[in-house]
Structure 1
Amino acid sequence: MKASTIAYKPVGFALGAVSGMIAAAMFKKAWKVLGHGEEAPDATDEERSWHEVLLAATLQGAIFAAVKATVDRAGASAARGLTGRWPG
């Protein structure tokens, strides 16, 4: 394993935590904008419809994936800018 890969691991973990917090905030805001209330439904919430539960899960997954990819890519690009090597 390359030294640059090992050195980037803690940065990658930190970026992962940050991206999770960003994605959670974005999802909460998106859910409110869609007019579905303050809290997204859990899969076992008996009072919510299948449609609403699946919509929430799909939206949350898409937001988390997009934010994670954006943050990971930006972190790798920044690491290359600082070290001259792409982490990986």
Structure 2
Amino acid sequence: MTKAAKLAYRPFGLLSGIAGGLVAGAVFKQVWRRISDEEDAPNALQSEYPWREVLLAAALQGAVYAVVKAAIDRGGAKAFERWTGEWPGN
């Protein structure tokens, strides 16, 4: 990958990372609502939830984030390659 392509991809990658985080948060919120019948997932400092539920929420959030981010990063890399002819990871 040329230096020019690396510089061109940097803002593109940053924007796709932000978009990925926003999409992942929305997806996780919907998934959590469906499996728990609650609006928000518990966080580690909420004492009214048992360890099991807090850890399940954290694991699920991490998995959803990783999958969504990977999908958006990969899609962004493919689009960048179509536009420039260069794969951003090389």
Equivalent residue, structure 2, for 1:3:
4
Unaligned runs of 5+ residues in structure 1 are none
Aligned to 1:82: 83
| Structure 1 consecutive aligned stretches of length 4 or more whose deviation exceeds 4 Å | none
Give the TM-score normalised by structure 2: 0.93
Identity %: 49
Could you tell me how far 1:36 is from its partner in structure 2? Answer: 4.3
Give TM-score scaled by structure 1 length.
0.95
| Matching residue of 1:19 | 20
Q: CA RMSD in A?
A: 1.1
Q: Distance in 2 between matches of 1:50 and 1:83?
A: 48
| Residue 30 (structure 2) aligns with | 29
Query: Structure 2: where are the runs of 5+ without partners?
Result: none
Aligned residues: 88
- CA distance in structure 1 between the partners assigned to 2:76 and 2:82 by the alignment: 10
- Find the aligned partners of 2:58 and 2:6 in 1 and give their Cα distance: 33
